[in-house]
Homo-oligomer: A and B are copies of this chain.
Amino acid sequence: MKVLAIIVAAGQGVRMGAGRPKAYLELEGRTLLERSLSPFLSHPRVERVVAATPDPDETRRILGGAAGRAVLVRGGATRQESVLCALRAAPSGAEEVILVHDAARPLVSRELIDAVLVAAERDGAAVPGLVPPDTVKQADGTGGIAATLDRDRLRLAQTPQGFRGDLLREAYARAERDGFQGTDDASVVERTGRKVTLVEGSPRNIKITTAVDLALAQAILAREDSSA
């Protein structure tokens, strides 16, 4: 089964305060984008890799040989537009499964990619998620708590998220027609009524949003080096 991987790296990194796109930040000598691309580029089942980045020319210069066979396209104003840009750059229908991954998760493992891929092939749509470590409250919109949610029924969604190609393309086309903006790919698919399978996420697969998250990623890598 042919697999297309889309890496979304269009964020400007405003919350990081680094003054440059987050994907170009370095983590132990390699950019977040390079680290996020690498496990897909080296995956034996991933036939094509498309990365949506703020500036493809600059990206190629920064990545050099690490871009490998990845196709670089310019992203859009939102995450969802960037995924659409990447989908358009990949000839339709050639692939059967599409994995969409955020470059802000540079510690994604081969094991997690495989778990999502297997579930997406089997069920059509799969998302990794973790039970929140904290108690989760629903706000009432006027400064107070409306309810405490059942944490065991909640999942913090991660990427990669995997989908049958036709299903993802159709869901994105429909979202564009309707002007729907989701915060992840699964939400775009869910609204078509399609069931999305949950797979167990990885605590290591953190999202880099702030400078503290980058420090955490460094600490995770350092721990792994010292125990290797």
Q: Which A residues are closer than 8 A to B by beta carbons? A: 127, 129, 132-139, 141, 143-145, 147-149, 151, 153-158, 182-184, 186-187, 190, 195-198, 203-204, 207, 209-212, 215-216, 218-220, 222-223
Contact = CB atoms under 8 A, between A and B. Distances in A.
A203 B210 contact: yes
A20 B61 CA distance: 50
Contacts of A219: 212, 215-216, 218-219
Secondary structure call for the A interface: mixed
A143 B197 contact: yes
Going nearest first, the 5 A-B pairs with the smallest beta carbon separation are A215-B219, A134-B156, A135-B157, A148-B187, A216-B216
B151 A137 contact: no
A98 to B, nearest CB: 18
Nearest to A186: B145
Given A156-B134, A209-B133, A222 B216 contact: no
Nearest to A206: B212
A80 to B, nearest CB: 12
12 contacts: A132-B132, A132-B156, A134-B156, A134-B158, A135-B157, A136-B155, A138-B153, A141-B153, A148-B184, A148-B190, A149-B154, A203-B212
A174 to B, nearest CB: 16
